[in-house]
Structure 1
Amino acid sequence: MLARRGSLPRVIEGYGQATPSANGVATLSVQQPGQVTAIPAVAGTHVAAGQPVVVFAVAPSAGSLYLQAEGAVRAAESQRATTAQLVTQQLATRDQLVQAEKAVVDARVARAALAKEGAGAATITLRAPFAGVVNTLPVATGDRTQPGQALATIARAGAMIVTVGVDPASRADLRIGAPVSLNRLDGGAGVAGRVQRIDAMLNPRTRQIDVDIAYPAGTILSGEAMRVEIETGRAEGWLVPHRAVVVDSNGKAQVFQIAGGKAKAVPVTVEVARADNDLVSGKLDAHARLIVDGAYQLADGDAVRR
């Protein structure tokens, strides 16, 4: 086999897991106490926009607050009407009428706020705000919950990422949009992606730079463990089989070529290492055959039989 000129991409390797991006997750909750009465959705499944996820019964105590707010609105409206009539009879002032109108506005605002938080409904059906995947369902049917407690999270379709940790020394080689190869640790077809975000600070837990990788929607499941190769450029040199590159007693890489029936050691620098072929630089002879099988047993000048 002859060495040949070629190129291979320079890559930074990392490992990560597919998760929803921070801005691609919606949390479903109700700002009232109550009880979960049904969960039509299943964690990990796709949902369409508007599809029911959780059915929630508002606690009677919240309903009583809303009834009190409605009563306050009616009382304020009645007081305003009475004040307006007294003004026509010159028994009340314009300032008193203005205050009565303000009381109506305040009472209506308070009622609207309670209605927005779900206090005015006996039952609330929480629906997916967009098409995506039910990421978590931290409650079960029958659970009683507190105001604002998370009942479900929905990850937007296409908003999944793989976050990997990269050595800070390699950060300068990274760029937004760089091509990425994603490979499942459990095997299976690879997926092409792109660098979406490069963090500007160290992850305090891993002491690495977090890099987010975007990939086509639906190609990787949430939670899948991935090995990632981020391309940072291309290197040119000699393409040789990985098994042809050996290390001498001084820890230096070399390959052996056949010259005059003998093994000739050629020092090389490994620019890119791969499982099948390496890309090396060095003074190789394009016309001399490489020794692949058994190269690790040879020394410079050993006789070689073809």
Structure 2
Amino acid sequence: MQERHYSLRTAAYVLCAAGSLAAGAALFCVRSAHADDTSAAEPAPSVAVQVVPVMRKPVSQLVVAYGVVGTAATNSVTVSLPYVARVTKVLVQPGETVARGAPLFVVQADPGAVIAFTQAQSAATLARGELARTEALFRDGLATQSQLATAQKALDDAQQALAAQKVSGIAAGEKTVASPTAGVVSQLSAAPGDQAQAGTALVQLLGTNTAGARAANVSLGVESADAATIHAGDRVVLHSLSAAQQSVQAQGHIAMVGGAVDAQSQLVNVGANVPLAGAAFLPGTRVRAEIDTQTGTWWAVPRAAVLHDASGQYVYQVMPGNKAHRVHVTVKVEYGATYGVEGALDATRGLIVSGNYELGDGMAVRIAQGGTQ
């Protein structure tokens, strides 16, 4: 009886174990099926990116240069007198802006110069009368052809001498000397009472250019490598180096590019024509100039969009199905944070500017919040 009791109890244990195993197997199958369903429902991995539109437009290579306003020799005008004179009044002062025709100073010609002018007038009058008398004698047969020719030559010589005196502007008494151009008085060498010799510089002016002027009024220095890319007519924008005038700027064009390196500065001299009427750039002001060179129509892309590896430079665009497409590009010019590039870009597809470092060609992407397609 005891043996039979043990047999029944053992059988009960076996049945319980079998039931537990069956239940565990069923539970494992259910969990496995659920795991498979979850795996199948998960989306393919993608990279979050931000995109911007891409288009072709003019982009330039930016060259930065430094220089000084109003120091180019081509824009400097020196005022002097072609005769000896005494300065009686000075009507301007250094730094003063003057208009064309404005009085600069008053002079009185040296008595010797006035006498020379008077003598030239008298000689011309005498030669004119002598020619008239010789012509009358010639008509009466009392003068020869040679005498008539001599009288004519004497009058021509006297008239030329008088014309030279008149060009010099000599006149008896005081004379006001006017400014030959609009500009700024950069140097004043005359003082009341000075005896100025012929040809002596009395005033130096720095001309203020108008929009149509061609002379340079800003002198810049650039590296020789940059100078090779700059040409007359390139756009230039001046900026003040003063912290208080950061917003002040003036726009003009390159007028001249030097053909040699300056021995002192080791830079190439470049002259710019920038209309400065009404601007806060006084002669002698040091400035920073931004010169637009090699202007062309390129694909304008942000610097962040362009990547580089052993195969060269490239960008990514978003193609149908939200796939990244690698496009080979060549950077032509650089303007601040913008590149001008050439390549087989598609203007209808967004250009990836953020997240592109994680991409490979054909990878799935998703537009991050704040990005634009």
Q: TM-score, normalised by structure 2?
A: 0.58
Aligned position for 1:217? 276
Cα deviations by residue, 1:257-293 (Å, 9 ceiling, x for unpaired): xxxxxxxxxxxxxx9798xx899xxxx993499xxxx
CA separation in 2, counterparts of 1:228 and 1:177? 14
Aligned position for 2:189? 138
Partner SS for 1:207: coil
Aligned position for 2:248? 190
Asked if the contact 2:98/2:185 (under 8 Å) is kept, the reply is yes
- RMSD across aligned positions (CA): 3.4
Aligned position for 2:354? 286
Aligned position for 1:150? 201
Match of 1:237 among 300, 303, 327: 303
In the alignment, structure 1 residue 92 sits paired with structure 2 residue 143: yes
Asked if the contact 1:181/1:191 (under 8 Å) is kept, the reply is yes
Cα deviations by residue, 1:63-112 (Å, 9 ceiling, x for unpaired): 11122222322332343233234334432212211211221121121112
Partner SS for 1:37: strand
CA separation in 2, counterparts of 1:109 and 1:155? 34
Aligned length: 251
Question: Gaps (5+ residues) in structure 1?
Answer: 240-270, 290-306
Q: Which has the larger radius of gyration?
A: 2
CA separation in 2, counterparts of 1:175 and 1:73? 54
Q: 1:106 to 1:190 in 2, by over 3 A?
A: same
Asked if the contact 1:4/1:238 (under 8 Å) is kept, the reply is no
Aligned partner letter, 1:42:
Q
Asked if the contact 1:54/1:151 (under 8 Å) is kept, the reply is no
Cα deviations by residue, 1:37-57 (Å, 9 ceiling, x for unpaired): 112122222222221112111
Asked if the contact 1:6/1:238 (under 8 Å) is kept, the reply is no
CA separation in 2, counterparts of 1:112 and 1:226? 47
* 1:121-136 correspondence to structure 2 within 5 Å: 121-136=172-187
> Greater helix share, 1 or 2?
2
Asked if the contact 2:70/2:217 (under 8 Å) is kept, the reply is yes
CA separation in 1, counterparts of 2:132 and 2:335? 86
Aligned partner letter, 2:288:
R
Aligned partner letter, 1:237:
R
Asked if the contact 2:302/2:338 (under 8 Å) is kept, the reply is no
CA separation in 1, counterparts of 2:231 and 2:136? 73
Partner SS for 2:77: strand
CA separation in 1, counterparts of 2:51 and 2:304? 5
Measured after TM superposition, the shift of residue 17 of structure 1 is 0.4
Aligned position for 1:117? 168
* 1:33-112 correspondence to structure 2 within 5 Å: 33-112=84-163
Q: 1:76 to 1:177 in 2, by over 3 A?
A: closer
With 16-25 and 47-56 compared, the bigger mean Cα shift is at 16-25
Asked if the contact 1:115/1:121 (under 8 Å) is kept, the reply is no
Question: Gaps (5+ residues) in structure 2?
Answer: 1-48, 210-214, 306-332, 340-351, 358-373
Cα deviations by residue, 1:224-281 (Å, 9 ceiling, x for unpaired): 0112232446774218xxxxxxxxxxxxxxxxxxxxxxxxxxxxxxx9798xx899xx
Asked if the contact 2:75/2:217 (under 8 Å) is kept, the reply is no
Asked if the contact 1:9/1:235 (under 8 Å) is kept, the reply is no
